Amino acid sequence: MGSASFSSAADLQSTLLAGEPNGPSIKTAIPGPKAKAVADNLGEVFDTRALNMLADYRKSHGNYIVDPDGNTLLDVYAQIASIPVGYNNPALLAAAKSDDMLQALINRPALGNFPSVEWATILRTGILKAAPPGLNQVFTALAGSDANETAYKAAFMWRRQKERGGPSVEFTEAEMDTCMTNAGPGAPNLSILSFKSAFHGRLFGSLSTTRSKPIHKLDIPAFDWPRATFPELKYPLEEHAEENAKAEADSLAEVEDLILNFHAPPAAVVVEPIQSEGGDNHASPAFFRGLREITRKHGVLFIVDEVQTGVGATGKFWAHEHWDLPFPPDMVTFSKKAQTAGYYFSDPELRPNKPYRQFNTWMGDPARAIIARAIIEYIENNDLVAQTARVGDYLYGKFETLAAKYPGQFANLRGKGQGTFIAFDNPKRDEFLLKAKTFGVNIGGSGANAVRLRPMLIFQEKHADILIEALENTVKAL
């Protein structure tokens, strides 16, 4: 995205939001007395058991989050990877105050039935402007789970339409009757293939493809759908090339076997470019090219879940651009940093053959699409994807130094060449995350032991230096 380049220290400074704090400032314990009082009040009407920290968003700015007690933390978790260009970004504030936004907020349309005269323009100048290479249409949705859920539905309808003989072939009476009883030809025996440790959401279909933690799935009825092994790479990569290549080959062989032999044939394979909630698990571009080859070979759709990896965090606007695919994915789902949601596609046959088959009241939200447009424009105008690639290389080098200095504390360092989408394992991970707050850093975890970095796209070298110093102090204090 964009063509601007930085040529001087002044240019580098220009992407920082005016008035951003110079660094963290810790005034009380976290939570402090004011935060505890607010949490107690909130707890009377809202479940706060998952509370990480309370925030005062009116005072938070740029890369920094502020709590009710005035503690200011460098935020490299960013609302679980969802803040793209900083708190209170002026470009987003301007979009929020626009007439387009006022109309979208007070006259929110049921998009499938009553889209506004501006809707096509909003899409073309925003969400579709950032479409992955080879994909030119979008189905908008409300959240990441919803995006995946509707992509799965599109895959099933596409598959059955082909089996039926094409979009012009009408449904049989038996199909229409039996679908109402959830059995028979109207409820086909099909599946979506996902991977061990994957996370694709918490709705019923998406949850059946989520395999990251039991707490996500316990007590919820699930579809009997196939699960393949995601390659478990060993680090450093250059020291385990042969083992890692075998792990990827074994995984691809398992995927092909499940496609051919699982009792509910997969209509699609869904995969994250980096398994985020499952522990920041990576695979090579060759592995993903192999997946694409297998899906095309067997007439199975290839869905890339870019809910967490998309919108610039890996040093490409879309993480799957790192793979150099000979053919684009069939669908790419998105949310989080886009601040809206949906899936991209290009094949006209992924539109169901009749209206109301892929439908709900809102079908997305024009207000969020307007914010997405402002985000995309800001990223493009400030060349933030290239900046994230550059800063990520700088930050990864700093982490390599820390890993050598503190053996075992920054283990299995991963994410080289993937922008700021960096992670490592720590033997005291949960303690590490809490202790980091005392040194002014809000950071998150994933999987069993991983510490994951999810900085905003406005994160720069100066922030990387602050982060590295704070994490070194964190390790020393454990």
What would the pLDDT profile of 102-138 be if each residue is shown by its tens digit? 999 999 999 999 999 999 999 999 999 999 999 999 9
User: What does the pLDDT read at residue 226?
Assistant: 98
| 299-309 per-residue burial string, b: 16 or more CB within 10 A, e: under 16 | ebbbbbbbbbb
Query: Which among 260, 344, 332 has a CA at the least distance from the CA of 295?
Result: 260
For helices 366-381 and 384-405, what crossing angle results, to 10°? 80
- Choose which CATH entry (3.30.300.30, 3.50.30.30, 3.40.50.1220, 3.40.640.10) describes domain 99-380: 3.40.640.10
Per residue in 282-340, pLDDT (tens digit) is 999 999 999 999 999 999 999 999 999 999 999 999 999 999 999 999 999 999 999 99
Query: Is residue 257 classed as helix, strand or coil in its secondary structure?
Result: helix
Instruction: Note whether 236 and 219 are within 8 A (CB).
Output: no
The label of the residue with tokens 């009757």 reads: 177
Residue 380: is it exposed, middle or buried by C-beta count within 10 angstroms (0-12/13-18/19+)?
Answer: middle
Exactly one of 156, 210, 230, 336 is catalytic; name it.
Answer: 336
List all residues 6 or more positions away from 201 whose beta carbon is below 8 Å from its beta carbon.
143, 144, 145, 146, 148, 149, 207, 209, 210, 307
Q: For 47-63+71-78+382-459+473-478, CATH number? A: 3.90.1150.10
C-alpha R_g of the chain: 23
Task: Provide the 8-state DSSP code for 320.
Answer: G
Domain with CATH 3.90.1150.10 in the chain: 47-63+71-78+382-459+473-478
Share of the chain above pLDDT 70, in %: 97
262 catalytically annotated: no
Per residue in 181-226, pLDDT (tens digit) is 999 999 999 999 999 999 999 999 999 999 999 999 999 999 999 9
How far does the chain reach from its first CA to its final CA, in angstroms?
Answer: 41
User: What does the pLDDT read at residue 2?
Assistant: 34
Bridge partners (DSSP) of residue 333 are: 305, 343
DSSP run (H or E) holding 176: helix 173-178
Other Cβ atoms closer than 10 A to 136? 11
361 catalytically annotated: yes
Residue 378: is it exposed, middle or buried by C-beta count within 10 angstroms (0-12/13-18/19+)?
Answer: buried
Domain with CATH 3.40.640.10 in the chain: 99-380
User: What does the pLDDT read at residue 8?
Assistant: 33
Query: Which among 125, 48, 61 has a CA at the least distance from the CA of 87?
Result: 61
| 190-223 per-residue burial string, b: 16 or more CB within 10 A, e: under 16 | bbbbbbbbbbbbebebbbbbbbbbeeeeeeeeee
DSSP run (H or E) holding 295: helix 285-297
Query: Is residue 246 classed as helix, strand or coil in its secondary structure?
Result: helix
Question: Which pTM does this prediction carry?
Answer: 0.94
DSSP run (H or E) holding 36: helix 33-43
Six token digits for residue 462:
């100066």
Exactly one of 139, 156, 195, 199 is catalytic; name it.
Answer: 199
336 catalytically annotated: yes
Cα angle for residues 288, 391, 289 (degrees, 5° grid): 5
User: What does the pLDDT read at residue 18?
Assistant: 86
Rounded to the nearest integer, the mean pLDDT of the chain is: 95
Q: Is the pLDDT of residue 3 over 70?
A: no
199 catalytically annotated: yes
Query: Is residue 453 classed as helix, strand or coil in its secondary structure?
Result: coil
Exactly one of 75, 146, 280, 305 is catalytic; name it.
Answer: 305
Q: Is the pLDDT of residue 150 over 60?
A: yes
Question: Which stretches of 299-383 are DSSP H helices?
Answer: 366-381
Q: Please state, in angstroms and rounded to a whole number, the distance separating the CA atoms of residues 308 and 18.
A: 27
